[in-house]
Structure 1
Amino acid sequence: MDEFGVYAIFGVNGPPQRLLRAEGSCRVSAAVPPSVRQVVLFSSGPWGERICVNAELNDADQIPITIGKLTPYNKCLSWEQWEEETWTDGVTLNVSLEGGNLTNSQPELIAVNEYTPKNPTAPLADRELSGKRKREQSTEEDGGDRMSEARGEENICPNGVKEKATPVRKGKGQVKSQKLFGNGADASKVKAAANEAGATPLQNAARTKSRQAKTPTQTSSLVGPSGRWGQTLCPIDAQTAILIGGQGARMQFCKDPMWKLCTEDLSWVAAETLAEGPTPEARIGHSAVFDPDSKRIFVFGGSKNKKWFNDVHILDTQSWRWTMVEAQGKVPPLAYHSCSMFRGELFVLGGVFPRPNPEPDGCSDSLYIFDPHLSIWYQPIVTGDKPSPRSGHSACVMQERYIYVFGGWDTPVCYNDMYMLDLGLMEFSVVKTSGKAPSPRSWHGSAVLSETKFLIHGGYNGNNALSDTFIFDIDTNSWTELKLAQLSTPRAGHSIVTMETPDHHGYSEDSSVSAGRTLLVFGGGDNEGTFFSDVTSVSVEDLLAAA
């Protein structure tokens, strides 16, 4: 296999079958046998100028389900449809190649040789499915204990098991989510899942068929991102923010991982149609930071099931092209860390890192710095009282000199302490605060409101998602609690940013619309079975006035 080729394995016992070759059609369609419940796709040979291979499944109703992308950095992917009752007839695998010497032709139809086992016993996949159903049925009988079993474990996602529609607020640009959950959960796996980065209690014994959105490269009926938590929302200019990643219902990583939010009317555009090159693999608990000088977004770390990441992907927002950094130096795979941009470098603090069994995954108290100019990681010498190991905390850069670190989680403890890192002295110190402080929490949202104030909202305390809002003043080191109807929905794992948005209530002599700063809240989960996909907006001026 010295020349480039893309191969597929249909089912656990099927032989590899070549779909694409170095010389041939750049698009291939293959009918998936009805008995097949797993598809594995992989490449072999040198990639050359080829960029990526897109793969998706279409059912009989022509509704696509994106499997993912093969790239020179990610040469294998798989799809297992175990959560469905049946694998419907008429499913087609569509594979398309981008880059290289393309042949502009109609999709080539490939005949799949269905594997017939000699042993008449049930295939492994069916036995696994049967076992999963039995476990789920037994779990429904003792479902009352599943949340108590999850409490205190590392990184249990703020979601639950109730079937519940996403609340929809009446307002411009807000997007309604579909129902997300059925009843029932696999409590027997909660504890094991808690030791995975971003692990969540397994949900959904109800076998309603999942209807995924069309892929971003096609005309999509989806007008906004699906409900999710653990994503990032990264502003790149006064009117635009980029949404990356996230996880939604049934522990499924979002098939629509990248969106562009236009704050002029709070509308969404599928951003992957604009970007070139291999995009980062689906993940949660990662960080995304925009460098205004280079106009680039830096995506670092995160996790996907049992897979951990310490890679750095860069999106150039001028050319809309992704690149992956071949970085020097050592940084561990991390998820639910904080990442701050200061003078063109990334400051990564804390987070969860994997440890071999039988030890559970642990939290870090280390500070790592990434220098994009040299493509190198290094650890600075820091002094003072640094924060204890934690994940799910927040970090706000204030006055281009200080990083304020609040809260976080290290099993079984949640924190509500505050630390400050002086970036000039590289010295940590404990911040002694006054006023009513937020209760201990992790996976909360934070945003800088002014030179001296930042906001903390929501989060997860190990039992419940929270809905309270606080503003911290660094001049007085004091907390102020706000009562806001717009932010009254409990949520955790959500994104909060401040943006320049039109203020239709303000008028000037030159224009009927003046710009104002607005706090935008997207996504998250409420620990009761709901993932959110709405956008809530609050005037920063009103927030500062209330504080």
Structure 2
Amino acid sequence: MDEFGVFACFGVNGPPQRLLSAEGSSRVAVAVPPSVRQVVLFSSGPWGERICVNAELNDAERIPITIGKLTPYNKCLSWEQWEEETWTDSVTLNVTLEGGNLGKTNWSEPQLILAVKEYTPKETVAPLAPREINSKRKRERMAEEELDEGKETKRGEEENVCPNGGPEKTTPVRKVRGQTKGSQKLFTSGGDANKTKGVNGAGEAQGIVGRTPPQSAARTKSRLAKTPTQTAPLVSPSGRWGQTLCPIDAQTAILIGGQGARMQFCKDPMWKLCTEDMSWMAAETLAEGPTPDARIGHTAIFDPDSKRIFVFGGSKNKKWFNDVHILDTQSWKWTMVEAQGKVPPLAYHSCSLFRGELFVLGGVFPCPNPEPDGCSDSLYIFDPHLSIWYEPIVTGDKPSPRSGHSACVMQERKIYVFGGWDTPVCYNDMYMLDLGLMEFSAVKTSGKAPSPRSWHGSAVLSDTKFLIHGGYNGNNALSDTFIFDTDTNSWTEVTLPQLSIPRAGHSIITMETPGHHHFTEEAEDADMDAGSINRTLLVFGGGDNERNFYSDLTTVTVEELLGAV
């Protein structure tokens, strides 16, 4: 097989079947036989100038079940029915090649439809089931699952999903296959606008780059959502929540992962942000090596000494991760760590870097696999030099089990932990871990504290101050902003128009940005230190519990924030 080709195996015993070739069509759709419960897609031969192969598994209504992408550095994908909650008996695999010699391709023509050669000759390929039969199956399955849902409700099963917006707004609700689209407002539907229109337009509000978050939740099902593949390349990330945004130098940050509308994992999982002109560049195909699986609720931490990003944990549907992936930002190569020691699969935990080690606290863990079963209160440390996990001995008054909390390293000797929740309780307490003594203590605060919340954003502003913004309180996404002073242990609420949009599951970082900032007399009185000069707070993505997913990039100068205290 010297020439380029894309092949698929349908079922564990199915032989490889060619879907795309060097000279053939660049688009193909394949009806997956009902007997098949596993699909493997892979490429063979030199890629040349080809960029990637987009792959989607769609249901009978052409709604994506799951998505993936082959690249020159990630040449194989696999799907199994047990991983995908919406896998039905009428699944279509849609494959589209991008890049290379596409001069013969007419994107307005219908894509090539192939039939699968089944392993057992007597079996015939079942065409897509009629809409009436499929609807009947869905209704029957929905009724069965509603009965099951009423019989058994696990305490932690809500943890793997961001907040819901149904009539009973108390705790998140895990999505099931038969669930109606209107029963879970946040991050299930209505976010298509982020992907199909308005993503690249400049926002009208000052400090917002990209799509300005909508103010209304009234949306109908987009016809574009049924299009298997959007061929126009994106110039900025699609709307999402649960992603990470990780600075790697003074002008560059890396966006990894996330989940968008209809619980679909983002088709564009990795981007590079340049703060010199606030421009985005798709980065998935830039790095060699095995890329991490699509996921949410993971963490990504950059080590400035080794110039590496450490990605840990997270979840995807019913799959939970405890893997460590490392991206070397100098060689742009991914590696997966074969670590010693034990750490449970975790999502919505916090991860802090101290003296080259990763401090992982809390999070949701599955027990037994794959269902989540409550939250963790444990502290795990990963030593990259020895590739080993260990649990340190800690003393004092440690935080209760929680997930969706924040952790800020202050003055390279203390970690401040705020908020989070352990269903159905939401927290707004504060704890501090002394990294010299390895001792936890509850922090008694003064001033107006943030209300209980999880999935909020946090960022260090100076040696003594950090920020908390937004989040989810069990009912609604929040838009308020607070600054905590570690010298006085006091909270101060600040109000800025740039941070007035309710959002949860978003990313907040601080970075140096070009331009000279002139300090006001009030800012100098606010104890502004040299570390805040020419630094800017960046807020990306999240959702509003009203079916909207954001792809905007909001900026506020640290000077302005500290001046408002």
* Coarse TM-score class (shorter-chain normalised): 0.7 to 0.9
What is the match of residue 142 of structure 1?
none
Q: Please tell me the residue identity of whatever aligns with 1:159.
A: L
Are the aligned partners of 1:337 and 1:392 in contact in 2 as well (CA < 8 Å)? Answer: yes
How do residues 247-396 of structure 1 correspond to structure 2 at under 5 angstroms?
247-356=259-368, 361-396=373-408
State the distance in 2 between where 1:520 and 1:146 align: 27
CA distance in 2 between partners of 1:42 and 1:363 (Å):
34
Please state whether the residue corresponding to 2:265 is helix, strand or coil. coil
Query: Within 5 A, what are the aligned runs for 1:190-209?
Result: 208-209=224-225
Q: Kindly state the Cα deviation for residue 151 of structure 1 after the two structures are TM-superposed.
A: 2.5
Determine which of 108, 131, 138 is the counterpart of 1:132.
138
Shift of 1:36: 6.5
> Which residue pairs with 2:544 in the alignment?
526
Report the counterpart of residue 60 of structure 2 in structure 1.
none
Can you give the 5+ residue segments of structure 2 that lack an aligned partner in the other structure? 46-50, 58-63, 99-103, 106-111, 146-163, 176-183, 520-531
Secondary structure of 1:209 counterpart: helix
Alpha-carbon distance, 1:68 to partner: 2.9
1:32 aligns with 2:29: yes
Residue number among 186, 190, 209 corresponding to 1:159 in the alignment = 186
Separation (CA, whole Å) in 2 of partners of 1:57 and 1:180: 33
Matching of residue 68 in structure 1 with residue 65 in structure 2: no
CA contact (8 A) 2:259 2:266 kept: yes
Tell me the amino acid that sits aligned with residue 534 of structure 1.
D
The one-letter amino acid paired with 1:209 is A
Change (3 A) 1:117 1:181: farther
The answer (yes or no) to whether the contact 1:350–1:367 under 8 Å persists in 2 is: yes
Equivalent of residue 54 in structure 2, options 53, 56, 72: 56
How big is the shift at 1:355?
1.7
Match of 2:439 in 1: 427
Amino acid paired to 2:79: L
- After superposition, the C-alpha distances for 1:163-204 in whole angstroms (9 at most, x for unaligned) are 4756944457711279999989xxxxxxxxxxxxxxxxxxx8
Q: Does the C-alpha gap of structure 1 residues 117 and 129 become closer, same or farther in structure 2, counting only changes over 3 Å?
A: farther
Equivalence for 1:93 = 95
Amino acid across the alignment from 2:546: E
Aligned residues: 486
The answer as to whether partners of 1:285 and 1:336 remain within 8 angstroms in 2 is yes
Distance in 2, matches of 1:178 and 1:485, equals 13
SS of 2:138's equivalent?
helix
| Residue of structure 1 aligned with 2:210, choices 172, 175, 188 | 175
Structure 1 residue 502: Cα displacement: 1.7
Residues 121 and 290 of structure 1, relative CA distance in 2, 3 Å threshold: closer
Question: Hey, what does 1:463 align to over in structure 2?
Answer: 475
The answer as to whether partners of 1:409 and 1:415 remain within 8 angstroms in 2 is: yes
In 2: Cα distance, 1:491 partner to 1:417 partner: 21
CA contact (8 A) 2:165 2:476 kept: no
2:137 aligned partner, one-letter code:
G
Larger displacement relative to structure 2 (242-251 or 349-358) = 349-358
TM-aligned CA distance change 1:294 to 1:113, over 3 Å: same
Specify the code of the residue in structure 1 equivalent to 2:433: L
2:555 alignment counterpart: 537
Query: 1:42 corresponds to which letter in structure 2?
Result: V
Displacement of 1:265: 1.4
* Separation (CA, whole Å) in 2 of partners of 1:124 and 1:301: 40
Cα separation, partners in 2 of 1:78 and 1:55, compared to 1, 3 Å: farther
Does the Cα contact within 8 Å between 1:396 and 1:403 map onto a contact in 2?
yes
Cα distance in 2 for residues equivalent to 1:277 and 1:529: 35
TM-score (norm 2): 0.73
Task: State whether residues 9 and 41 of structure 2, in contact with CA within 8 Å, keep that contact through their aligned partners in structure 1.
Answer: no
**Which piece of structure 1 moves more, 496-505 or 146-155?**
146-155
CA-based RMSD: 4.7
Partner of 1:234: 246
User: In the superposition, relative to structure 1, how do residues 74 and 158 fare at CA in structure 2: closer, same or farther (>3 Å)?
Assistant: farther
Q: Using the TM superposition, give the Cα deviation of residue 344 of structure 1 relative to its aligned residue in structure 2, in angstroms.
A: 0.2
Shift of residue 39, structure 1, vs aligned partner: 9.2
Contact 2:209–2:278 (CA under 8 A) maintained in structure 1: yes
Q: Which amino acid aligns with 1:132?
A: K
Give the AA of the match of 1:483. Answer: T
Ranges in structure 1 where 5+ consecutive residues have no aligned partner? 48-52, 97-105, 140-144, 185-203, 508-513
Change (3 A) 1:31 1:78: farther
Contact 1:454 1:471 survives alignment (8 Å): yes
Q: Deviations over 1:252-303 (max 9, x none)?
A: 0000000011111111011123211121110000000000000000000000
Read off the aligned partner of 2:16 and give its amino acid letter: Q
Give the secondary structure class of the aligned counterpart of 2:462: coil
Residues 114, 126 of structure 1: alpha-carbon distance in 2 compared, 3 angstrom cutoff: farther
For 1:340-391, what per-residue CA distance to the aligned partner results, in whole angstroms no more than 9, with x for missing partners? 0000000000000012389852100000000000000000000000000000
**Counterpart residue number, 2:16:** 17
1:519 and 1:537 in contact (8 A); partners too: yes
Counterpart-to-counterpart distance in 1, 2:352 and 2:54: 35
**Inter-partner Cα distance in structure 2 for 1:361 and 1:392:** 15
What's the % identity of the aligned pairs? Answer: 64
Q: Go from structure 1 to structure 2 and tell me whether the alpha carbon gap of 1:246 and 1:133 turns closer, same or farther (over 3 Å shift).
A: farther
Distance 1:33 1:119 in 2: 10
The alignment partner of 2:428 has SS state of: strand
2:419 match: secondary structure: strand
Q: Distance in 1 between matches of 2:228 and 2:129?
A: 27
| Secondary structure of 2:284 counterpart | helix
Q: Distance in 2 between matches of 1:136 and 1:15?
A: 31
- CA distance in structure 2 between the aligned counterparts of 1:8 and 1:284, rounded to whole angstroms: 27
Instruction: Decide whether aligned partners of structure 1 residues 36 and 169 sit closer, same or farther in structure 2, where only a CA change above 3 A counts.
Output: farther
